[in-house]
Amino acid sequence: MKKNMGSADRMVRTVIAIVIAILYFTNIISGTLGLILLVLAGVFLFTSFISFCPLYAPFGLSTCKNKEEH
């Protein structure tokens, strides 16, 4: 699994996940929408930790800087 997420992308996903978790646990968002967003937050955190987004791969997208580029 080749890394395809840069540090800025990882930071944004982490912040979004934290905000969603805070909103869910303070009951600002709840019900089905809350659960769906909480699962999405978990996916964001997981992909941030492994620096790989499976949705980027089929499209050849990458937000990380390559060392070969000048």
Look-up of token digits 């492994």: 50
Q: From CA 6, how far away is CA 52, in angstroms rounded?
A: 9
The CA distance from 70 to 50, in Å, is 26
Can you give the pTM of this predicted structure? Answer: 0.84
Residues 24-68 pLDDT 10s: 999 999 999 999 999 999 999 999 999 999 999 888 888 888 654
* CA 31 to centroid of chain Cα atoms: 22
Segments making up each domain of the chain, as ranges: 7-50
